[in-house]
């Protein structure tokens, strides 16, 4: 008599559990962004108007430079295919943005270590007082090629 009722009640509970778990994983926004940036809106704004073309620019003062860097899966532009070159004895302000997902931008061995967020520009300044070569690394997991995302900065 009651067996059927219990069976139905148990089934309802199971469905509720599955629903809760599914909601927790997907609905609450913890879904993984896949390696191709599946959840990223391709129409999302990239950088604002205050972001110039990627590259190294002479600053307004002597010895000051502005470097505009674009991070994208899985490159720094400039930095990866050709090194960023800045002169020795300089003060360099990096302006860093991303055109796809969140990346990191670290100049190894300096205080430059920031996130690169789509639609935002991170700004960080560092002084270089001797020539050298620095590695650039991405330290935010950004997809299957994250571990290959690196570049170089040369102070010459
Ligand atoms: Cu870009 Cu990790």
In total, the chain counts a number of residues equal to 156
pLDDT of residue 25: 58
pLDDT of residue 17: 67
Ligand 1 atom index nearest CA of 98? 1
Cα gap 33→91, rounded to integer Å = 36
* Protein residue with its CA nearest to atom 1 in ligand 1: 103
pLDDT of residue 3: 80
User: Ligand 1 pocket: which residues have CB below 6 Å?
Assistant: 74, 103, 138, 140-142, 146, 149
pLDDT along the chain (156 residues), means of 10: 79 74 55 43 48 90 94 96 96 96 96 95 95 97 97 97
pLDDT of residue 140: 97
Joined together, the tokens standing for residue 6 give 């219990």
Cα gap 144→36, rounded to integer Å = 8
- Tell me the sheet residues that pair with 86: 155
Cα gap 64→89, rounded to integer Å = 9
Query: Is the confidence metric ipTM above 0.90 for this complex?
Result: yes
The alpha-carbon radius of gyration of the chain (Å, integer) is: 23
* Contact criterion met (CB below 8 Å) for 121 and 80: no
Q: Could you tell me the distance, in angstroms and rounded to a whole number, from the CA of residue 74 to the centre of ligand 1?
A: 6
How big, in percent rounded to 5, are the helix, strand and coil portions of the chain?
20, 35, 45
pLDDT of residue 93: 95
Ligand 1 atom index nearest CA of 103? 1
Q: Could you tell me the distance, in angstroms and rounded to a whole number, from the CA of residue 98 to the centre of ligand 1?
A: 10
Shortest CA distance to 96 belongs to which of 77, 74, 73? 77
């Amino acid at each position: 008599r009651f067996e059927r009722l219990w069976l139905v009640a148990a089934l309802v509970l199971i469905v509720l559990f599955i629903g809760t778990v599914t909601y927790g994983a997907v609905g609450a926004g913890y879904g993984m962004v896949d390696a191709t940036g599946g959840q990223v809106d391709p129409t999302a704004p990239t950088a604002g108007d205050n972001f110039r073309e990627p590259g190294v620019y002479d600053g307004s003062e002597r010895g000051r430079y502005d470097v505009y860097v674009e991070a994208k899966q899985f490159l720094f532009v400039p930095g990866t295919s050709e090194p960023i070159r800045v002169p020795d004895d300089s003060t360099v302000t990096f302006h860093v943005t991303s055109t796809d997902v969140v990346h990191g931008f670290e100049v190894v061995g300096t205080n430059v270590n920031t996130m690169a967020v789509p639609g935002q520009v991170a700004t960080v300044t560092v002084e270089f007082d001797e020539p050298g070569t620095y590695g650039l690394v991405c330290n935010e997991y950004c997809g299957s090629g994250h571990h290959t995302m690196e570049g170089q900065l040369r102070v010459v």
